[in-house]
Structure 1
């Protein structure tokens, strides 16, 4: 029995890793666009060295024209590594937590315990992967647009950051990153609740009883559930992503020079980012890049959950 449980946990991890890999490979250019929108605080318009994109389509066109395919897939290596590791670990820790909370006669966890399980998994994943996301952001902003080309790849970026800025630089943005644990918690809780609602509806409509839930739901259901849960999480937590991105690239991206400054926007901490963003950009500043974020992450979540659920079905069929 213990061997079966252990195998099930590793199958969840493998399915999550495959899902994360598939999602990032499909939609990486939109992630590049989102990152560039997030870190552009609107004060760079006076600088001829920084492109100001009108919208997502214009950004994709400009990057492709100015930087080619390499620009659209900037930071691809750490993105693949980060997403594969993150999704794999997330599903592993998440399902471990759920099993731990399902004690006694508990058959179905409450929304609160689903959220606690997801938050626990998200915190552990955040601590493990923050350095990968810092490297990814630096590489995504390494372009002619910012007159930055100091890194030659994933390993070089990692080594250069540690050498020039210290190990602590790899954990820049960890504060809002941990707050973003709420994103995953909301997404997975919403997914579980939407999934239960869909199951109840289908069982009632087709008068299905005592049937494996995975036989009732199909890929279209999983795609819709993944999309709905992602929209819910994005709308509630997106400002944290902007704050984290700006902290992670601080001392790296050149913005408009201000009186008494050295031409580089420097944020002291998360609260300073909040105050500066509110002061110069207002509420829209906290939602920069949300269009490209939605265009990338909604289909990405759909793809990830479809792949995850179907890979699990495959593993289960191999065992029976």
Structure 2
């Protein structure tokens, strides 16, 4: 099997493993982002005060299984989106496109490669491609299932999906095929810009820590530290776009199939700014940190470990 195909598989497998641990944090993050939608701070009831209170509240009222709401589509999404993103990024590195003429890692070229990889991952969510249905559907239905809760702690528009496949059918019945791609522009921007922040900071930090020789070569602590830095960069850059994406995906629709609150990405951003201010774009930032940081650390660490194990066996097979 060609090595570049393996890279895509390793990236997808790493992200899928990570989401098993981080999906509960994704549920909490989504609810925070919908809490007080289009309302000024202090004018709405806060069902979730912080991450730990949110875990307790969801477990108490909705049950512990609610913390894994939307897990199947979340796994599918991670395999497709991050498999493409990480595979593309590593392929560009292997082709030497992140190096300067002296053979050293170039920051601008690394950022460009990360951006290209991010948009490659988001490409499958473009309305111009057949693959868009495979990526946008799981992301869309995942976002709608995660806020579903008992009325006493409900936030945002409440969908009543009994399962993710039934939910996909309902989205199609209510909004037609275009209903699957509502919010795709925000998702594409989120993936592209976030990828630049995440993968660039990961590569640069990993190189820096390796050169300090604080750890032995190949130590698991090197990718873990690099992943933590990448996670922090990811939260700062991606949270506003993530809020917009969540709002766009979760909003209800009227009898004409139009969104109840937002006409598009810029309309959503404008309304959040006017009604909620800057803080509205960073709602749930702590939940985003608790989710994105472990997701970044686990996925990139699993990715790094998987690549080492694969190429170690690959080299052994080549030498025999």
**Could you tell me the TM-score, scaled by structure 2's length?**
0.83
Corresponding residue of 2:132: none
What SS does the aligned partner of 2:271 have?
helix
* Residue of structure 1 aligned with 2:29, choices 34, 58, 73: 34
Kindly provide the CA deviation profile for residues 126-178 of structure 1, in whole angstroms up to 9, marking residues without a partner as x. 23223321111011122224484532222222222122101222112122222
Alignment of 1:1-320 (within 5 A): 6-7=2-3, 9-40=4-35, 41=37, 43=39, 52-100=47-95, 102=97, 107-128=103-124, 129-145=135-151, 146=154, 148=158, 150-180=160-190, 181-202=192-213, 216-251=217-252, 265-319=260-314, 320=316
CA distance, structure 2, for counterparts of residue 99 and residue 73 of structure 1: 36
d(CA) in 1 for partners of 2:95, 2:226? 25
Report deviation, 1:54. 1.4
C-alpha contact 1:97 1:120 (8 A) present in aligned 2: no
CA drift of 1:18 comes to: 2.2
Runs of at least 5 residues in structure 1 that lack an aligned partner in the other structure: 207-214, 254-263
Task: Indicate the SS of the match to 1:234.
Answer: helix
* DSSP 3-state at the match of 2:148: coil
Alignment check: 8 A CA contact 2:193 2:237 kept? no
Aligned residues: 293
Distance change >3 Å, CA 220–CA 134, structure 1 → 2: same
For residue 104 of structure 1, report the CA deviation from its aligned partner: 9.9
> Which structure's CA Rg is the greater one?
1
CA–CA separation in structure 2 for the residues paired with 1:35 and 1:247: 12
> 1:233, CA displacement in angstroms?
2.3
> Matched residue of 2:62: which SS?
helix
The Cα RMSD (Å) is 2.7
**Structure 1 length as normaliser, TM-score?**
0.83
